[in-house]
Chains A and B, each alone.
Chain A
Amino acid sequence: DTGVSQDPRHKITKRGQNVTFRCDPISEHNRLYWYRQTLGQGPEFLTYFQNEAQLEKSRLLSDRFSAERPKGSFSTLEIQRTEQGDSAMYLCASSPGTSQNSPLHFGNGTRLTVT
């Protein structure tokens, strides 16, 4: 169990640029989640995958955001035409999905700064 891995740890980009983050979940975890955390707030749910299927997207996820999980393993989160309001910590979590109450295992996050 090597834990959930996120890359990069930090990303600084100019407004209007596109960025892509990667998440490698714990192997054999079939559930994968993306959350966003801004200063002074708790993690906010963005989207959820069961294997390769994206089953729910939050209203926080505007059309500029897209997430994929090809082959049900790693996942990517892309933000197009970034805005300063997108600056946040983007967290990925996975869980085994063997029961409804499996705890989430979080990565260390990717901190995005949009200048």
Chain B
Amino acid sequence: AQSVTQLDSQVPVFEEAPVELRCNYSSSVSVYLFWYVQYPNQGLQLLLKYLSGSTLVESINGFEAEFNKSQTSFHLRKPSVHISDTAEYFCAVSESGGYQKVTFGTGTKLQVIP
């Protein structure tokens, strides 16, 4: 069975500072990896995804994540955060093949401090 671990429940960071949100997964087969973001009072939105190919994937708002198969990790990074990045971030995994049951981590709340 697949699982996701997000060790940091909350990450406070000053505006314009870099941030890394950690994600590790467990699966016995090939996986697809996702980061979803939930802004206050809004639904979950896809931020970025790794399916295959280049292990570094980017979002349109400056976030990036790197798939590391040997370390079974998919950490999310941004070199300079903005106040508007304050949200909860969920790492998720689905096993390739089948109908795409997505398993989520427990989430990391990113709090950007002005």
Q: Within 8 Å CB of A31, what residues of B?
A: 99-100
Stretch at the interface among B11-19, B38-46, B79-87: B38-46
Q: CB-nearest residue of chain B relative to A107?
A: B43
Could you mark each residue 42-55 of chain B with 1 if its beta carbon is under 8 Å from any beta carbon of chain A, else 0? 11111001010000
B97 at the interface (CB under 8 A from A): yes
Q: Within 8 Å CB of B56, what residues of A?
A: none
Q: Are A45 and B102 in contact (CB under 8 A)?
A: yes
- Interface residue tally on B, bucketed by range: 20 to 34
Q: CB-nearest residue of chain B relative to A41?
A: B106
A109 at the interface (CB under 8 A from B): yes
* Cα–Cα distance between A41 and B106 once the two chains are bound (Å): 4
Say which residue of B9, B92, B97, B100 sits within 8 Å of A102 (CB atoms): B100
Q: Are A42 and B106 in contact (CB under 8 A)?
A: yes
17 pairs, CB–CB < 8 Å, chain A vs chain B: A41-B107, A42-B107, A43-B44, A44-B104, A55-B99, A56-B101, A91-B43, A93-B44, A95-B100, A97-B99, A100-B96, A100-B99, A101-B51, A101-B96, A102-B100, A104-B46, A108-B43
